[in-house]
Amino acid sequence: MFDTLTRSFQSVLRKLRGYGILTEENIRAALDELRVALLEADVQYEIADQFIERLRQRCIGEEVPRGVAPGQQVIRRLYEELTRLLGQARRDFKWAGRPMALMLLGLHGAGKTTTAAKLARRWVAEKKKVLLVACDLRRPAAVEQLRILAGQVGADLVVPEPGETVVRVAERAVKKGARELYDVAIYDTGGRFEIDEELVGELRDLKKVVRPHNVVLVLDAAIGQTSVQVARRFHEAVGLTGLILTKLDGDARGGAALSVHAATGVPIHLVGVGERPEDLEPFHPDRMAARILGMGDVLTMVEKVQQAAQTAERFPGPSAPPPAKLTMDELLQQLRAARKMGPVQSLLEMLPGAARLGQDALRKAAESSETDLRKFEAIILSMTPAERRNPDILDASRRRRIAAGSGTSVTDVNELMRRYKVARKFYAQARSGKIPRLPGLF
C-alpha cells in the first residue's frame, strides 16, 4: 500500500546519497519533497508538518561522524523519525485479568467482527480458552456472522437472547468468562456510519459492565485522512488503549497508518491484511518504517522463513535432529519449508529494492525461483539415501542417472550441487551460531 510513498521517498534518498557535501539548501529541498510525499500519501497536514519540523531540527547543523556520508546520516534520521511516528516499538495488548477482556469498537464496516475472529483464531492456536461476545443488536446478521466465524476458529460464543439489551448480554458474558475460567473474552460491538451520541452512550455503558483491559479501535486504513478525526473522537468519547488497522492489503495510500498513532498517542497493535481469519499481522513500527523507505522488510521475511522452517515436516522422520553437516535430506526439508511460505513473489516483494523492480520483474523472478525449487526437489528425490547423506560421491555417471530419473538435465543437477556447496558452508557457520539459518540461496 505504500508503493507511491516509497517511490517518492526513494527519489529523495537517491538525491541525498548523491551529495558529497550536504548544504542547508540541499536538506531543505529534500525536506520539502518529503513533505509533499507525505501529503500525497494522505497524511494529515499538521502531522506531516510536525514530522518535517522535527526532522529539520535534527538534520540541520548536525555533525556527521567520520566515515558516514552526509546523505546517509539524513536517511538514518528519517528512518528513526518514521519509526517514532509509527509508534516506536511493537506493543502487545495489556495482558491482565482472567479472562483478559478486550472490547473492539469502530465505524460500520471497519472490520470489527472479522478482526474478532482473527484474534480468536490466533489465541485458540496458542491454546487459550477464548470467548467471543456478540454485542451488536442492530444487525441480526451480525450475530450470525460471528456465530459462523466462531465455529470456524474454534472459539466459544455468547449471543443475545430475544429481548436482551447489549448491556445484559455483556453481563452474562462477564459472569460466564469468570465462572468458566476463560483466558480471553472478545467483545464485538456494533458500528455506525458516524460517531453519534447513541453509539457513544452504548459503548460507555458496555465499558462500565465489561471493565475491559483493552479498548481497541478497529480502523479501516482506506479511509485516509478521515481516520485521524475518527480515531480522535473515539479516543475522547470512550478512551482507547490501542488500535488495529484493517485493509492494509488494499490500495489505501498509507496516510492512516502514518497518522493515527500521532493523533491518539495509543499504539497500533496489529494490522489486517486480508479477509481470511489468518490475515492478521503484528505491527512493528521499525519494520514498517524500513518498508516505507524501500529498505525492505527483511526482518519480517526472516521471521516467516524461520516459522515455516519450524513447522515444516522433518525429513526423513519427525524426530531426526539436524545433522552436523548439511545433507541433501536437510536441504530438501528446507526447500519444502521455503515453498510452504507461500508465493515466492510475496517474499521477494519484501526484499530491499523491490519497489524499484516493478511487478513484471518480480513476477518473472518468482516464477523462475518456483521452477527451480520444483526441479531441485525432483533431483533430490531421485538420489539414493547414500547420495543424499553424502552428495560428494556424485560423479558424472551418477549425475546423468539422477538427471534422467528426475526429468531434468545434468546442468540442473550441477547447479543444485553448486548451490548445495555454498549452502553447506553457510550451514556450518549457522550451526556454530554465527548467522541465522536461511535457505537464502534458493
Residue 106's binding partner out of ligand GTP, Mg ion, none, with CB under 5 to 8 Å set by partner kind? ligand GTP
What minimum distance in Å lies between the beta carbon of 203 and ligand GTP? 12
Compute the least distance from the CB of residue 50 to ligand GTP, in Å.
28
CB closer to Mg ion out of 109 and 440: 109
Which CB sits closer to ligand GTP, 53 or 144?
144
Q: Say how many C-beta atoms besides its own lie within 10 A of residue 377's C-beta.
A: 17
316 binds, among Mg ion, ligand GTP, none (CB under 5 to 8 A by kind): none
Of residues 53 through 92, those in contact with Mg ion by CB under 5 A are: none
- Which residue is at the shortest CB distance from Mg ion? 113
C-alpha cell at 201: 452512550
Separation CA 22–CA 1 (nearest Å)? 31
In the list ligand GTP, Mg ion, none, the entry touching 440 (Cβ below 5 to 8 angstroms by class) is none
3-state secondary structure of 195: coil
Cβ of residue 113: shortest distance to Mg ion, in angstroms? 3
State the Cα–Cα distance between residues 51 and 233, nearest whole angstrom. 22
For ligand GTP, the closer of residues 138 and 325 by Cβ is: 138
SS (H, E, C) 125-187: HCCCCEEEEEECCCCHHHHHHHHHHHHHHCCEEECCCCCCCHHHHHHHHHHHHHHCCCCEEEE
**Strand pairing report for 242-246 and 268-272:** parallel
Q: Which is nearer to ligand GTP, 38 or 217 (CB)?
A: 217
Binding site for ligand GTP (CB under 6 A): 106, 108-114, 136, 142, 190-191, 246-247, 249-250, 272-275, 279
Task: Name the minimum Å distance from CB 225 to Mg ion.
Answer: 24
Determine contact, residues 307/347, Cβ cutoff 8 Å. Answer: no
Q: How many CA atoms lie within 13 A of 295 on its CB side?
A: 15
Please state the closest distance from residue 328 (CB atom) to ligand GTP, in A. 40
Q: Which is nearer to Mg ion, 113 or 334 (CB)?
A: 113
Other Cβ atoms less than 10 A from the Cβ of 20: the count is: 7
Q: At closest approach, how far in Å is the CB of 189 from Mg ion? A: 8
Geometric angle at alpha carbon 15, from 14 and 19, rounded to 5°:
115
The total number of residues shown for the chain amounts to 442
CA separation, residue 284 to residues 116, 177, 261, 276, 301 (Å):
20, 31, 13, 21, 13
**Least spacing, CB of residue 308 vs ligand GTP, in Å:** 22
Considering the complex, state which of residue 250 and residue 342 has its C-beta at the smaller distance from ligand GTP.
Answer: 250
CB of 134 vs ligand GTP, minimal distance in Å: 10
Q: Which does 275 bind (CB under 5 to 8 A by kind): Mg ion, ligand GTP, none?
A: ligand GTP
Q: Which stretch binds Mg ion (CB under 5 A): 1-9, 141-149, 271-279, 341-349?
A: 141-149
Residue 108's binding partner among Mg ion, ligand GTP, none (Cβ under 5 to 8 angstroms by kind) is: ligand GTP
Work out the end-to-end distance of the chain between its first and last CA atoms, rounded to an integer number of angstroms: 27
Q: What CA–CA distance (Å, rounded) separates 36 from 41?
A: 9
107 versus 258: smaller Cβ distance to ligand GTP: 107
Which C-beta is closer to ligand GTP: that of 220 or that of 330? Answer: 220
CB of 175 to ligand GTP, least distance (A): 25
Report the phi/psi class of residue 106: left, alpha or beta, with left for phi > 0 and alpha for psi in -120 to 50. left
Residue 317 — φ and ψ, nearest 5°?
A: -120, 160
Amino acid identity of 134? A
When the beta carbons of 112 and 291 are compared against ligand GTP, the nearer one is: 112
Q: Are strands 268-272 and 280-282 parallel, antiparallel or unpaired?
A: antiparallel
Choosing from 6, 73, 113, 334, the residue that interacts with Mg ion (CB under 5 A) is: 113
Q: Report the SS3 class of residue 271.
A: strand
Compute how many residues bind Mg ion; rule: CB under 5 A. Answer: 3
Q: Which residue has the cell 473515539?
A: 234
Q: Which of 142, 149, 184, 328 binds Mg ion (CB under 5 A)?
A: 142
Smallest gap from Cβ 246 to ligand GTP, in A, equals 4
- Report the alpha-carbon distance of residue 185 to residue 156 in Å, rounded: 9
Residue 124 or 135 having the CB closest to Mg ion: 135
Q: Give the interface with Mg ion as residue ranges (CB under 5 A).
A: 112-113, 142
